[in-house]
Amino acid sequence: MPAPTTATKGRKVLGRLSLPERNFVADALRTETLGGVLLLLAAIAALVWANSGVKESYESVRDFHLGPASLGLDLSVGHWAADGLLAVFFFVAGIELKRELVAGDLKDPRAAVLPVVAALCGMAVPALVYTLVGVTGGGSLAGWAVPTATDIAFALAVLAVIGTSLPSALRAFLLTLAVVDDLFAILIIAVFFTDDLDFAALGGAVVGLAVFWLLLRKGVRGWYVYVPLALVIWGLMYNSGIHATIAGVALGLMLRCTTHEDEAHSPGEHIEHLVRPLSAGLAVPLFALFSAGVAVSGDAIGEVFTRPETLGVVLGLVVGKAVGIFGGTWLAARFTRAELSEDLAWPDVFAVASLAGIGFTVSLLIGELAFEGDEVLTDEVKAAVLTGSLIAAVLASVLLKVRNAKYRKLCEAEELDEDLDGIPDIYEQDNPEYHLRMADIYERKAAEHRRLAEVTAGASEENNGPA
């Protein structure tokens, strides 16, 4: 996603986005916000279903197996959601990352420093908080990675629900953090949650990726070529012992995200535009539906704050994320002598950092992997993810609403287009043609006011004349 930050002297932290980046962010936000609302509804539906009088039906559907056993793919519905549907989510994340690295603001290493440092600190500090709680309380350290992720769709859904007019620079900063989070989360999954490797299947997946890359470079077109090949690569990756979502990221990173002279959009951007609604509107909500269904009761919620594993997750999301991202941003700006945009204040950064504590989707996935085989603890950790994400959402909502009047003015300024040319006026201040158009508009308005004044004055003279 776009990186709205820069890290060199003379540049601004969280300054105004370039126009292409602003448009890209706006397009992405529309889909992600709708997907986030669907995600929120799916999570609520899962909780209601799993805690209703027909909870056995929820477990029955979630644990129902289907798929070709001969190919090692006889999986439960919940397993298909986690390994299959989330591969689509990570495919989109891979495209986003590739685009930013080769065509977006992140292609400049100096501009990439601050958001990357902020995101890394936003992962390291929650892991440290979890570890400290685990060591102090004598709990398992296996879940150290659970509170490290940010769920951008859920965060945007919260913004939509509370009606906060967050400026595009802050939204883009949140998106950038989420993309870097996704990248490192998938690396964590690949490195720390891979036990037994099937080198034959892994070799087949690598060969498939090489063929995919070669076909792209040769300019071969047609979904009927790439979709079946992608499914084969995914199946081989799953059977290799490496989490199958790795295949999604790898495929996304291979797409070309730079434009040629005869192209309005790169192939990567075009495919992302097609696949993002599938990811945000179907894949992620279905994963939430079959992962968020945990038993919730007064005793269960109380245990979240007493058991070291679950308390570590909650504190990691609520405290670790906010402190890590805010601290990383401040330190990066401090040591690179960058200045915060004059339109914003450091409390704004802390509010967004708090919002990043919503770690729903990937946190649930890592929780399942970290405590695989312990169904009770897995459900308790899921409850902790839900609790921590809810607390982070409430805290961020309060902090953002305090500044919402300021945000609304910034958003109105970003959207103002008085000359109706489709480009916000704030991006045309150095364009002489814009000022000529505005001068003509003001002159026509002044002429209309003069005409109305003359008509009013004439009517007044007639009324004051002799009867």
Share of the chain above pLDDT 90, in %: 37
Tell me what pLDDT residue 235 has.
95
The answer on pLDDT for 47 being more than 70 is: yes
At residue 416, φ and ψ (nearest 5 deg) are -60, 130
The answer on pLDDT for 212 being more than 50 is: yes
Among 165, 169, 126, residue whose Cα is nearest residue 384: 126
The answer on pLDDT for 29 being more than 70 is: no
The answer on pLDDT for 198 being more than 50 is: yes
Average pLDDT over every residue of 68-84:
90
> What 3-state class would DSSP assign to 103?
coil
Tell me what pLDDT residue 324 has.
96
Model confidence pLDDT, tens digit, residues 87-99: 998 899 889 888 8
Model confidence pLDDT, tens digit, residues 405-449: 888 887 777 777 777 777 787 777 777 877 778 888 888 888 888
The answer on pLDDT for 35 being more than 60 is: yes
Average pLDDT over every residue of 208-233:
94
Tell me what pLDDT residue 340 has.
77
Tell me what pLDDT residue 19 has.
67
Tell me what pLDDT residue 3 has.
46
Handedness of CA 330, 332, 333, 335 (dihedral sign): positive
The answer on pLDDT for 333 being more than 70 is: yes
User: What confidence category does residue 1 fall into, taking pLDDT thresholds of 50, 70 and 90?
Assistant: very low
| Cα 277 to Cα 153, 274, 363, distances in angstroms | 12, 7, 22
Are 80 and 238 contacting, i.e. CB atoms less than 8 angstroms apart?
no
Average pLDDT of the residues of the chain = 85
Tell me what pLDDT residue 57 has.
93
What DSSP assignment string belongs to 135-184? HHHT--STTTTGGG---HHHHHHHHHHHT----HHHHHHHHHHHHHHHHH
Tell me what pLDDT residue 462 has.
63
Instruction: Determine which of 56-70, 107-121, 156-170, 303-317 has the lowest per-residue pLDDT on average.
Output: 156-170
User: What confidence category does residue 231 fall into, taking pLDDT thresholds of 50, 70 and 90?
Assistant: very high
Model confidence pLDDT, tens digit, residues 51-70: 888 889 998 999 999 999 88
The answer on pLDDT for 355 being more than 80 is: yes
